[in-house]
Amino acid sequence: MKSLEDLVSLPHVVVAHRGASGNAPENTLTAIGLALEAGALMIEIDVQLTTDEQIVVFHDPSLERTSNGHGEICRSSSAELKKLDAGSWFGERFRGEKIPLLDEVFQLIRGRACINVEIKPPAAGEDWRKRIRLITAATAAAEMTPFTLFSSFHHDSLRYLNSLKQGFHSAALLPSGDQRPVSEVLRDTGCQAFVCSLRQLTPELAADIAAHDIFTGVYTINTGQEAELALQRHARGLVTDFPERILHYLETRAQ
């Protein structure tokens, strides 16, 4: 089993975006299981907090797009969320799929892959420092810290996470419109790694990444052509909805 330290020394790492979200409903145990079966070495998920301070795996601030629930996820309890169907929006055969807890995902991937826990921006008025403490404490309690990369667009959260000085690994996501050099973003947040979209990965940004040897992930890489461009521009983490497709592309490319 590879730890994060092992992964950063590889020429490229396929990261399953919200699990194998091209083939199964995003951020569910089924999507994560498919990504593991495909051989992804890292699984990316999004996390948020419920009213009873449980950490749940879900992308949007509101429930409508990827479940049969309504309203904001931060105003729901974990018990309410567990009653929802987070599968049938994607396909009838996924009906009954649940919104997982972070701990359930840890149990599934333990010993099989690393995890990228993306901490979603806080809701208005949410105590984001407390949220960071809860998420990092759950990770440490599950003994998953060496296998977990935290990331966020919310740089205050990242600064706070790194100020805890507990050996957490972190990557800064680049908010749209942020024009700073990558090296400056990392200095500012205390992160070791960086993640941006393929559109944001300009030749200038790529030159900065290469000059400072920064481990960079790029999303969303769903074709061989996109993978090729990302690799040319020095990205090493390929964040994809179709891990089996990108793994196959990289295998044939190496032959």
Chain residues in the site for Mg ion (CB under 5 A): 46, 118
Residue nearest ligand G3P by beta-carbon distance: 219
In angstroms, what is the minimal distance from the CB of 116 to ligand G3P? 6
With CB under 5 to 8 Å by kind, the binding choice for 208 among ligand G3P, Mg ion, none is: none
**For ligand G3P, which is the closer residue by CB, 29 or 235?**
235
With CB under 5 to 8 Å by kind, the binding choice for 239 among Mg ion, ligand G3P, none is: ligand G3P
Residue 195 binds to ligand G3P (criterion: CB under 6 A): yes
Residue 245 binds to ligand G3P (criterion: CB under 6 A): no
User: Residue 40 and residue 42: Cα distance in Å, rounded?
Assistant: 5
Residue 239 binds to ligand G3P (criterion: CB under 6 A): yes
The dihedral built from the CA positions of residue 199, 113, 156 and 125, taken in this order, carries a sign that is positive
Residue 244 binds to ligand G3P (criterion: CB under 6 A): no
Q: In this structure, are strands 215-219 and 237-240 parallel, antiparallel, or unpaired?
A: parallel
Contact 232, 253 (CB under 8 A): no
In angstroms, what is the minimal distance from the CB of 15 to ligand G3P? 8
**In the window 116-175, what residues touch ligand G3P (CB under 6 A)?**
118, 151, 173
Cis peptide before 220 (omega within 30 of 0): yes
In angstroms, what is the minimal distance from the CB of 208 to Mg ion? 23
With CB under 5 to 8 Å by kind, the binding choice for 57 among Mg ion, ligand G3P, none is: none
Measured in degrees and rounded to the nearest 5, phi and psi for residue 122 equal: -70, 155
**In the window 33-72, what residues touch ligand G3P (CB under 6 A)?**
44, 46, 59
User: Residue 102 and residue 135: Cα distance in Å, rounded?
Assistant: 9
Residue spans of alpha helices (H) in the chain:
4-7, 29-38, 78-82, 102-109, 128-141, 155-163, 182-189, 203-212, 224-232, 243-254
With CB under 5 to 8 Å by kind, the binding choice for 151 among Mg ion, ligand G3P, none is: ligand G3P
In angstroms, what is the minimal distance from the CB of 64 to Mg ion? 18
Could you give the 3-state DSSP secondary structure of residue 205? Answer: helix
Question: Packing angle between helix 243-254 and helix 29-38, nearest 10 degrees?
Answer: 10
End-to-end CA distance of the chain: 25
**For ligand G3P, which is the closer residue by CB, 29 or 218?**
218
With CB under 5 to 8 Å by kind, the binding choice for 195 among Mg ion, ligand G3P, none is: ligand G3P
**For Mg ion, which is the closer residue by CB, 197 or 232?**
197
Long-range contacts of 168-177 (CB under 8 A, 24+ apart): 168/136, 168/139, 169/4, 169/145, 169/193, 171/116, 171/195, 171/215, 171/217, 173/118, 174/200, 176/200
Interface contacts to ligand G3P, rule CB under 6 A: 17, 44, 46, 59, 118, 151, 173, 195, 219, 239
